[in-house]
Amino acid sequence: MKKSMINPMPQFFDRYINLVEDINIFEAFDQYAPDKVYTDITKLASLQDRAYAEGKWSVKDILQHVIDNERIMSYRAMRFSRNDKTTLPGYDEELLAANTIAYQRSVEDLMQEFNQVRQSTILLYKGMNDEMMLRSGFAFKSEISALALGFVIIGHPIHHMRVIEERYYPLLG
């Protein structure tokens, strides 16, 4: 199923969905795989625990956030695809970020986890037919389908990579 089949387009989440081309979701999972979005591991690792401003996350924190977000969005997609209409709450990304040990991990280790989580997500979506992908529910005050959540999962890391390129890479000089 393609991005253009998302209906309704969820407010707030559209900022991530719109970063992905209008291609089949499985093509998108491949085209925007973690290793294809975060290509320069050496450059990411060289940033260590630096942030571009006081109170901002490090690259490791960003990677952990992207991983956590993918798990949460996958959980929502599973529930909605199986016709669970329970309204699901948002989550406090700052609270989650403040309670990790990302600073003790290497970028390589975080990327390994990210790749494994993505493989789990792909397998989850392989277990859905078109009807299941179009099923929706409410999360974070928006109606959103399992299909839309898949494109959020794909687009969210792209958004954060753009932030890294714009605000973190300049720290390297």
Domains of the chain plus CATH, in order, are 14-172 (1.20.120.450)
> What's the chain's average pLDDT?
97
The pTM (predicted TM-score) of the whole model is: 0.97
Q: Which of 32, 40, 36, 38 is nearest to 16 (CA)?
A: 32
At residue 27's C-alpha, the angle toward residues 25 and 33, to 5°, is: 95
What are 22's two structure tokens? 């209008």
What are 98's two structure tokens? 């403040």
Rounded mean pLDDT, 40-44:
96
Q: Residues, the chain, total?
A: 173
Residue 113 clears pLDDT 90, i.e. is over it: yes
pLDDT bucket at 8, cuts 50 / 70 / 90: very high
Give me the torsion for CA of 103, 48, 67, 18, rounded to 10°: 140
Residues 97, 126: Cα–Cα separation, whole Å = 30
Q: Taking the CA atoms of 120, 35, 134 and 14 in sequence, report the sign of the dihedral they define.
A: positive
Q: Beta 142-145 vs 136-139: how paired, if at all?
A: antiparallel
Contacts of 90 by beta carbon, 8 Å cutoff, 6+ apart: 139, 140, 141
Residue 130's pLDDT is 99
Residue 48's pLDDT is 86
Rounded mean pLDDT, 6-20:
96
